[in-house]
Amino acid sequence: MEDISLLSSLSEDDIKSLKETFYQQARELMESLVHEILSLEDSRDRVQRLKVIKRIFHTLKGDSASVGLKELSALIHRAEDLVHLVDKKSIEIDSSLTDLLLKIADCIGETIETNRTGSWDSPAIPAVLGMIDNFLKDEEVRQATVSPLPLHPLVNMKGCFCLSTTGRANLYIT
pLDDT over threshold 50, residue 153? no
The predicted structure's pLDDT at residue 146: 59
pLDDT over threshold 80, residue 6? no
The predicted structure's pLDDT at residue 169: 52
pTM, full prediction: 0.77
The predicted structure's pLDDT at residue 39: 94
Q: 3-state DSSP call for residue 28?
A: helix
- Residue 135 near residue 96 (C-beta atoms within 8 A): yes
Give me the half-sphere count of Cα atoms (radius 13 Å) on the Cβ side of residue 7.
20
- Residue 39 near residue 49 (C-beta atoms within 8 A): yes
Q: For all residues of the chain together, what is the average pLDDT? A: 83
Could you give the angle at which helices 95-116 and 70-87 cross, rounded to 10 degrees?
160
Q: What pLDDT digit, counting tens, does each position of 81-132 carry?
A: 999 999 888 888 999 999 999 999 999 999 999 998 887 667 799 999 999 9
- Please tell me the CATH superfamily of domain 5-148, with its number: HPT domain (1.20.120.160)
The predicted structure's pLDDT at residue 148: 53
Q: Could you tell me the residue ranges of all domains in the chain?
A: 5-148
